[in-house]
Chain A
Amino acid sequence: MNYKMIRFIIGWILIFEAIFLMFPAITAIIYGEKRPLLAFMLTVLLCATIGLLLVFRKPRNTVLYSREGFVIVSMSWIVLSLFGAIPIWLSGAIPNYIDALFETVSGFTTTGASIVPVVESLPKSVILWRSFTHFVGGMGVLVFIMAFIPLSGGQNMHIMKAESPGPSVSKLVPRVRTTALILYSLYIAITLIQIILLLFGGMTFFDAINTALATAGTGGFGIKNDSFASFSPYIQIVVTVFMLLFSLNFSCYYLAFRGRIKDFFNSETRCFLTVVAVAIALITLNITLSGNYATVDEALRHAAFSVASIISTTGFATEDFNLWPALSKSILVLLMFIGACAGSTGGGIKISRLLIYGKNAKNELGGLIHTGQVKKVSIDGKSVDKEVIKAVNTYMAWYILIFVASLLLISVENHDPITNFTAIAATINNIGPGLELVGPTGNFAFFTVPSKLVLIFDMLAGRLELFPLLLLFTPSTWKK
């Protein structure tokens, strides 16, 4: 285990966090918020000092193997959250550190589950920081930082593999640095387009930036307590479209730019769009027939928004879907598990993983009938590597184990089963709101500290796709 490299990279993480924290600090200056400004500036100083001390000596041996990649990624995210929570706590916005940590983890992991009862009461700078953590966490921060750290390169692939969502990671161009540059440019460009479109809809500049940042990371922290219910249909539609755009694989955009439209509509994109269309149709039908809405287009708008919000794992809401009929609620809960596409900013199990899982399950069933049958899982005409299938199966096994264990742990608190189940589903899939007590109008404040820690773990595990966090807590990872 290359401890010196871990120290070095953690140092850089803190330096970058100091830079990120400048943005809310500037916001605090603009809005004249004295205590938050002090809190942010103190944290900037703290992060920068510790960071500079850690990177002071560059390690001679810069070789990283896959276990270092996993450890660095999970530790970085934890460090990022621990320090990111400090200003929220110091500013007095959330007086309890564990609550502040919950909020920050929820931000970086793009979950959007909040413990704040009234969002409007928060200082503007804290609101911006919450949205900004979504933006940073959405695309993944380590690959971004690795692109800037003065290292010869070659070490980054293990880190990129550990941090990027999806069953298998491939680069767009030979260099990680250039790949990261392309992905972040796309990310920022699409976000800017959304800001402009929101401004057209009459949103204030501050609201538009926050909304776009939270949508880009498929996070879900709102700027209002009722999320998007009080915004105009135009803004709701813009947000719906961008939530879906951010849940597609970013590589596809690059390929589409290069004129490979066929690669844009690969089987994952097609499957994703089909699921979205079917879910919207069913829910629209269901809520119209049950009489929740007077007109079909109003039902359609809310159904589309909710479906996009849940499947992209954003967690915005225009309506309290807690009040919808059972079929609609069940569909939404199922969408929570499906999640977005690999290589997007969304969470969940991911479409491509489910595709591989399902096809493999089908093949294995066929193998029971025709003993010795050899059949490959193929996606887009390419057979999937055995290692990838193995990793997907292992992922699913751990996913279920963690889910069940977390469910048991928080059930100690004696809330109703639906609340518990959807609370875990909403955190491990990085969505935000669940049903009942944790529904769109509720929040996570009522959980006790141990349960909050369980949920914090679930959010991180979900965002980092289980393995990095699991390996961090496996003793043999640390053995020499």
Chain B
Amino acid sequence: MNIIIVGCGRVGETLAEQLNGEGNNVTVVDVEPSRVNTISAKYDIMGVTGNGAMLSVLSEAGINNADLMIAVTGSDELNLLSCVVAKKIGNCHTVAQVKNPVYSSEIQYLQSELGISMVINPELAAAREISRVLRFPSALNIETFAKGKVEMLKFRVPEGCALDGMSVKDVIVDLKCDVLICTVERGNEAFIAKGDFVFREKDVVSMIASPKKAHHFFNKIRYSSGAVKTAMILGGGNITHYLCDELSNTGIGIKVIEDDMAMCDALADALPDITVINHDETDRDILLEEGLKTVGAFVALTEIDEENIFLSLFAKGVGCNKIVTKINRVDFDDVTQRLDLDSTIYPKNITADMIVRYVRAMKNAKGSNVETLYNVIKGEVEAAEFIIREGFTALNTPISQLSLKDNVLIASIIRNNKVIIPRGNDVILPGDAVVIVSKTLALHDITDILK
């Protein structure tokens, strides 16, 4: 694929390296000639100097033949503008990095109005990653689909679990859990879980659910997801905001320590349920006083990498056993890996990974009507995303009345950028994006799912 990357920062460079390595034709654009020169000499890619929102610059970078444009400069506005221009002249897919929380709240409107395929907020993505680590430490894997909107959780049914012997229908009817079981792996076999499928011990179950509903579900089946009860967070920046938001209603008690009074105020305003302490977060005594020894998880999210690493090592020393360390700089990750930290989070790598996953999914889908195509279980189960257009034969029909093929499951419907976990009464409307999980089927068009 022909890919243009606007912005040669750390994310841009990681993307350029990976996407070039995977056989794509990459062109990078940046205003700083020295950045462009260094990167284009390092990898087999082309460099163009200039502002990525300018028609002439994008034309020089070959926007007319581009399949995808990724805007990852430090400026949200420039990223959005670049995407709009690229979409207009190149009619390609666009990905924008948008950091400012102010836009985040309205990002769905911006995304659909501006026709951007995917918007990534690195801090939100990092917060989600941390929340997963805290909520489901025992989950085998968490995968995201449909440009990061749909999350699929994979876990193993333990011995003696309430789920053993239950059918998929029971989960919905008896437990009243609003989760969508997608696939079950038993031994070397994979199944698409339909209503009467019965679970057994040691099955590996993949399901789609919002964090809250997943939490509810695990409680019901008395599955210990290993979730922590309390968490101490250092630093009250954007990631902390997002993280607390993600963790609200999960029953995890949160304590935030932040040096800056104004930031504390903002946190306390936005999230009345959490404990906010205004104190120097590097003070040894306050950490111990607030119960560092007994806290379930310790999350270091200050702006300074060295501080995060240092404090995490301290927490480890006093006996805290779940530690998450945020590190902004990725250049020396080999050094930090040797430090024996518990979980490290690199927001920039997370962003790059998400985009690379999207690019792969786009590439898989090339030549068919599939929007993106992900491998759920390698070689067996795929998740394909389709955009529904007028003229689809099954419009406005409740899903329960559709005659779907075996081994096909409608996993989620994305309408106005909201994820709907489909139930029998839900209908498919034009403009929806639909994620179809299917086994050993090469779907080329949405009509392929019907009998």
A binds B: yes
Q: A154-B20, A385-B33 are in contact. Are A174 and B41 (CB under 8 A)?
A: no
The answer to whether A176 touches B33 (Cβ under 8 A) is no
Question: Which 4 residue pairs spanning A and B have beta carbons closest together?
Answer: A153-B44, A174-B25, A174-B46, A154-B44
Chosen A-B contacts, 18 in total, with CB atoms closer than 8 Å, are A66-B41, A152-B21, A153-B44, A154-B42, A156-B44, A157-B42, A157-B44, A173-B25, A173-B46, A174-B25, A175-B44, A175-B45, A176-B44, A177-B44, A178-B25, A385-B33, A387-B34, A387-B37
B192 contacts the other chain (Cβ, under 8 Å)?
Answer: no
A161 contacts the other chain (Cβ, under 8 Å)?
Answer: yes
B27 contacts the other chain (Cβ, under 8 Å)?
Answer: yes
What chain A residues lie within 8 Å of B34 (beta carbons)? Answer: 387
Select from chain A the residue with minimum beta-carbon distance to B62.
A173
B446 contacts the other chain (Cβ, under 8 Å)?
Answer: no
The answer to whether B26 touches A174 (Cβ under 8 A) is yes
Select from chain A the residue with minimum beta-carbon distance to B26.
A174
Q: How far is the CA of A176 from the CA of B44 in the complex (A)?
A: 6
Contact with A along B1-26 (1 / 0, CB 8 A): 01000000000000000001100011
Residues A55-83 near B (CB distance < 8 A): 66
Residues B343-365 near A (CB distance < 8 A): none
Q: Which of B33, B37, B41, B42 has the most C-beta atoms of chain A within 10 angstroms of its own C-beta?
A: B41
Residues A114-159 near B (CB distance < 8 A): 152-154, 156-158
A171 contacts the other chain (Cβ, under 8 Å)?
Answer: yes
B43 contacts the other chain (Cβ, under 8 Å)?
Answer: yes
Smallest distance from the beta carbon of A356 to chain B beta carbons, Å?
Answer: 15
What chain B residues lie within 8 Å of A178 (beta carbons)? Answer: 25
B328 contacts the other chain (Cβ, under 8 Å)?
Answer: no
Smallest distance from the beta carbon of B51 to chain A beta carbons, Å?
Answer: 13
What chain B residues lie within 8 Å of A174 (beta carbons)? Answer: 2, 20, 25-27, 44-46
Q: How far is the CA of A82 from the CA of B41 in the complex (A)?
A: 30
Q: How far is the CA of A157 from the CA of B45 in the complex (A)?
A: 9
What chain B residues lie within 8 Å of A156 (beta carbons)? Answer: 44
What chain B residues lie within 8 Å of A170 (beta carbons)? Answer: 46-47
The answer to whether B33 touches A171 (Cβ under 8 A) is no
The answer to whether B41 touches A175 (Cβ under 8 A) is no
The answer to whether B43 touches A154 (Cβ under 8 A) is yes
The answer to whether B45 touches A161 (Cβ under 8 A) is no
Select from chain A the residue with minimum beta-carbon distance to B27.
A174
Q: How far is the CA of A293 from the CA of B272 in the complex (A)?
A: 99
Select from chain B the residue with minimum beta-carbon distance to A381.
B56
What chain B residues lie within 8 Å of A171 (beta carbons)? Answer: 40, 46
Since A174-B25, A175-B44 are in contact, a sample of 6 more A-B pairs with Cβ atoms closer than 8 Å, ordered by chain A residue number, is A157-B44, A161-B41, A170-B47, A174-B46, A387-B34, A387-B37
What chain B residues lie within 8 Å of A172 (beta carbons)? Answer: 46
The answer to whether A157 touches B26 (Cβ under 8 A) is no
Q: How far is the CA of A385 from the CA of B47 in the complex (A)?
A: 14
Number of residues in A with C-beta < 8 Å to the partner?
A: 19
The answer to whether A175 touches B40 (Cβ under 8 A) is no
Binding site for A on B (CB under 8 A): 2, 20-21, 25-27, 33-34, 37, 40-47, 62
Q: How far is the CA of A176 from the CA of B45 in the complex (A)?
A: 8
Select from chain B the residue with minimum beta-carbon distance to A382.
B49
Q: How far is the CA of A173 from the CA of B65 in the complex (A)?
A: 11
Q: How far is the CA of A385 from the CA of B34 in the complex (A)?
A: 9
What chain A residues lie within 8 Å of B43 (beta carbons)? Answer: 154
Contact with B along A162-201 (1 / 0, CB 8 A): 0000000011111111100000000000000000000000
Select from chain A the residue with minimum beta-carbon distance to B44.
A153
Q: How far is the CA of A52 from the CA of B142 in the complex (A)?
A: 49
Select from chain B the residue with minimum beta-carbon distance to A156.
B44
Q: How far is the CA of A152 from the CA of B47 in the complex (A)?
A: 19
The answer to whether A157 touches B40 (Cβ under 8 A) is yes
Q: How far is the CA of A442 from the CA of B216 in the complex (A)?
A: 96
Q: How far is the CA of A190 from the CA of B249 in the complex (A)?
A: 72
Smallest distance from the beta carbon of B67 to chain A beta carbons, Å?
Answer: 12
Q: How far is the CA of A154 from the CA of B20 in the complex (A)?
A: 9
Q: How far is the CA of A170 from the CA of B40 in the complex (A)?
A: 10
Q: How far is the CA of A195 from the CA of B162 in the complex (A)?
A: 83
Smallest distance from the beta carbon of B266 to chain A beta carbons, Å?
Answer: 43
User: Among the listed B41, B45, B62, which residue makes an inter-chain contact with A158, where contact means beta carbons less than 8 Å apart?
Assistant: B41
Smallest distance from the beta carbon of B294 to chain A beta carbons, Å?
Answer: 49
Smallest distance from the beta carbon of B387 to chain A beta carbons, Å?
Answer: 29
Smallest distance from the beta carbon of B49 to chain A beta carbons, Å?
Answer: 8
Q: Which of A157, A161, A174, A177 has the most C-beta atoms of chain B within 10 angstroms of its own C-beta?
A: A174
Smallest distance from the beta carbon of A176 to chain B beta carbons, Å?
Answer: 5
Q: How far is the CA of A71 from the CA of B26 in the complex (A)?
A: 28
Q: How far is the CA of A175 from the CA of B62 in the complex (A)?
A: 13
What chain B residues lie within 8 Å of A158 (beta carbons)? Answer: 41
What chain B residues lie within 8 Å of A173 (beta carbons)? Answer: 25, 46, 62
Contact with B along A346-376 (1 / 0, CB 8 A): 0000000000000000000000000000000
Select from chain A the residue with minimum beta-carbon distance to B4.
A174
Smallest distance from the beta carbon of B167 to chain A beta carbons, Å?
Answer: 51
Smallest distance from the beta carbon of A254 to chain B beta carbons, Å?
Answer: 12
Smallest distance from the beta carbon of A381 to chain B beta carbons, Å?
Answer: 10
Q: A173-B46, A174-B46 are in contact. Are A157 and B25 (CB under 8 A)?
A: no
What chain A residues lie within 8 Å of B42 (beta carbons)? Answer: 154, 157
What chain A residues lie within 8 Å of B40 (beta carbons)? Answer: 157, 171
Q: How far is the CA of A148 from the CA of B307 in the complex (A)?
A: 49
Q: How far is the CA of A66 from the CA of B40 in the complex (A)?
A: 13
What chain A residues lie within 8 Å of B2 (beta carbons)? Answer: 174
Q: How far is the CA of A454 from the CA of B37 in the complex (A)?
A: 35
Q: Which of A154, A170, A171, A178 has the most C-beta atoms of chain B within 10 angstroms of its own C-beta?
A: A154
What chain B residues lie within 8 Å of A153 (beta carbons)? Answer: 20, 44
Smallest distance from the beta carbon of B23 to chain A beta carbons, Å?
Answer: 10
Q: How far is the CA of A156 from the CA of B20 in the complex (A)?
A: 14
What chain B residues lie within 8 Å of A176 (beta carbons)? Answer: 44
Q: A154-B42, A157-B40, A158-B41 are in contact. Are A175 and B33 (CB under 8 A)?
A: no
Q: How far is the CA of A154 from the CA of B38 in the complex (A)?
A: 12
What chain A residues lie within 8 Å of B44 (beta carbons)? Answer: 153-154, 156-157, 174-177
Q: How far is the CA of A153 from the CA of B46 in the complex (A)?
A: 13
Q: How far is the CA of A171 from the CA of B25 in the complex (A)?
A: 12
Q: Which of B25, B26, B46, B47 has the most C-beta atoms of chain A within 10 angstroms of its own C-beta?
A: B46
Q: How far is the CA of A316 from the CA of B20 in the complex (A)?
A: 45
Residues A215-270 near B (CB distance < 8 A): none
Smallest distance from the beta carbon of B363 to chain A beta carbons, Å?
Answer: 16
Q: How far is the CA of A205 from the CA of B281 in the complex (A)?
A: 85
Select from chain B the residue with minimum beta-carbon distance to A386.
B33
Q: How far is the CA of A157 from the CA of B42 in the complex (A)?
A: 8
Q: How far is the CA of A154 from the CA of B45 in the complex (A)?
A: 8
Q: How far is the CA of A170 from the CA of B49 in the complex (A)?
A: 11
Smallest distance from the beta carbon of A70 to chain B beta carbons, Å?
Answer: 13
Q: How far is the CA of A158 from the CA of B33 in the complex (A)?
A: 17
Q: How far is the CA of A356 from the CA of B20 in the complex (A)?
A: 33
Q: How far is the CA of A176 from the CA of B42 in the complex (A)?
A: 12
What chain B residues lie within 8 Å of A66 (beta carbons)? Answer: 41
Q: Which of B25, B27, B44, B62 has the most C-beta atoms of chain A within 10 angstroms of its own C-beta?
A: B44
What chain A residues lie within 8 Å of B25 (beta carbons)? Answer: 173-175, 178
Smallest distance from the beta carbon of B71 to chain A beta carbons, Å?
Answer: 18
What chain A residues lie within 8 Å of B33 (beta carbons)? Answer: 385
What chain B residues lie within 8 Å of A177 (beta carbons)? Answer: 44
What chain B residues lie within 8 Å of A387 (beta carbons)? Answer: 34, 37
Q: A174-B46, A385-B33 are in contact. Are A157 and B27 (CB under 8 A)?
A: no
Smallest distance from the beta carbon of B64 to chain A beta carbons, Å?
Answer: 10
What chain A residues lie within 8 Å of B37 (beta carbons)? Answer: 385, 387
Q: How far is the CA of A465 from the CA of B45 in the complex (A)?
A: 24
Smallest distance from the beta carbon of A297 to chain B beta carbons, Å?
Answer: 44
Residues A371-407 near B (CB distance < 8 A): 385, 387
What chain A residues lie within 8 Å of B21 (beta carbons)? Answer: 152
Select from chain B the residue with minimum beta-carbon distance to A385.
B33
Contact with B along A325-342 (1 / 0, CB 8 A): 000000000000000000
Q: How far is the CA of A456 from the CA of B207 in the complex (A)?
A: 73
Smallest distance from the beta carbon of A392 to chain B beta carbons, Å?
Answer: 16
Q: How far is the CA of A175 from the CA of B47 in the complex (A)?
A: 11
